């Protein structure tokens, strides 16, 4: 029955992240992840090509949503307003399961250099996607690059705040990400 389970992808991700935290990334096998998630190995391989892929899965989706939000922002939007539109679009794809995953994911990453490298490259990919979308709007470099980096920082800070906040706080990821973006914008005035 597992193959028809709608939440299988999410269960595999949670199982993998928990195992990475408990015993390390290297020591964790696909068989263990499948077992923890209550599915067969062949079910795992219908969802992901390997255990590394499992961590990359969300990146293409996030990059696409960030870029789409930037591309579809009003023509007179400033670079940072366009970035805000990208953050809102990407945030709309993140639900309660993503919120629950946050602290576990951070623990797994903190425990593994390999996952830290993977996570760092993910940020580079998100920044590149946003930079390209801003350049396509006519934003010159280095403003485009700078705005994209602020967007990545805001998304990461917003995600951390959202996933660590009280569960009776019903404000979504978009609220926290845009709030972090405003804080970063304000901080530019103090750079000197």
Q: Are 52 and 118 in contact (CB under 8 A)?
A: yes
Q: Which of 40, 81, 165, 179 binds its own copies (CB under 8 A)?
A: 81
* Of 19-27, 33-41, 43-51, 73-81: span binding its own copies (CB under 8 A): 73-81
Cα separation, 157 vs 62, whole angstroms:
15
Site for its own copies in 100-119 (CB under 8 A): 113, 116-118
SS3 assignment, position 168:
coil
Nearer to its own copies, 95 or 142 (CB): 142
Nearest approach, Cβ of residue 161 and its own copies (Å): 12
Measure Cα distances from 56 to 24, 72, 117, 139 in Å.
Answer: 17, 25, 12, 28
Query: Taking CB under 8 A as the rule, does residue 123 contact its own copies?
Result: yes
Query: Taking CB under 8 A as the rule, does residue 75 contact its own copies?
Result: no
At 121, list the tokens: 């490259």
Nearer to its own copies, 7 or 60 (CB): 60
Q: Are 87 and 178 in contact (CB under 8 A)?
A: yes
Query: Taking CB under 8 A as the rule, does residue 10 contact its own copies?
Result: no
Site for its own copies in 144-163 (CB under 8 A): 145-147, 149-150, 153, 157
Cα separation, 20 vs 139, whole angstroms:
41
Query: Taking CB under 8 A as the rule, does residue 95 contact its own copies?
Result: no
Q: Are 158 and 177 in contact (CB under 8 A)?
A: yes
Cα separation, 43 vs 62, whole angstroms:
24
Interaction site with its own copies (CB under 8 A): 77-81, 113, 116-118, 120-121, 123-124, 140, 142-143, 145-147, 149-150, 153, 157, 180, 183-185, 187-188, 190-192
């Amino acid at each position: 029955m597992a193959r028809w389970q709608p939440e299988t992808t999410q269960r595999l991700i949670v199982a993998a992240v928990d195992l990475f935290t408990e015993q390390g990334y290297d020591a964790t096998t696909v068989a263990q992840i499948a077992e923890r998630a209550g599915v067969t190995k062949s079910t795992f391989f219908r969802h992901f090509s390997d255990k590394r892929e499992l961590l990359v899965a969300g990146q293409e989706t996030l990059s696409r949503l960030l870029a789409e939000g930037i591309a579809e922002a009003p023509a007179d939007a400033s670079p940072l307003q366009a970035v805000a539109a990208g953050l809102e679009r990407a945030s709309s794809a993140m639900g309660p399961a993503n919120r629950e995953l946050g602290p576990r994911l951070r623990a797994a990453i903190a425990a593994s250099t390999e996952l830290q490298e993977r996570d760092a490259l993910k940020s580079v990919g998100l920044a590149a996607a946003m930079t390209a979308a801003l350049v396509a709007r006519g934003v010159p470099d280095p403003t485009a690059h700078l705005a994209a980096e602020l967007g990545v920082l805001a998304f990461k800070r917003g995600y951390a705040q959202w996933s660590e906040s009280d569960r009776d706080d019903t404000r979504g990821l978009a609220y926290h990400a845009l709030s972090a973006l405003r804080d970063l914008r304000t901080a530019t005035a103090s750079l000197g």
